[in-house]
Amino acid sequence: MRTAIKMRATVLPGHRLELHDAELPEGNEVEVIVLLPENGNVTSPKPSILDFLASLPKEPSPRSFDSWEEYEQFLQEERNSWDR
């Protein structure tokens, strides 16, 4: 009886696939079938949050504050202006 294992994998750099499963017998030959998405479009994976954060500008923005205290002072002044 044949056993089928269905899993998803991400194509690694160099157009490689890496598969890990406890049911795969070490040293035995297996048959691998690769199915592309039905729409035929192979999209690149979404960047990770770390990649996104690394892409942000390193310089402070014009609205940033030098310290948390300056930010809290700004917020308090803003709240006080609501009461006027």
Q: Would you kindly state where each structural domain of the chain is located, as residue ranges? A: 49-82
pTM of the model: 0.39
Give the C-alpha separation, 62 to 47, whole Å. Answer: 27
Q: What is the pLDDT of residues 37-81, one digit of tens each?
A: 777 666 666 778 888 888 888 877 777 788 899 999 999 999 999
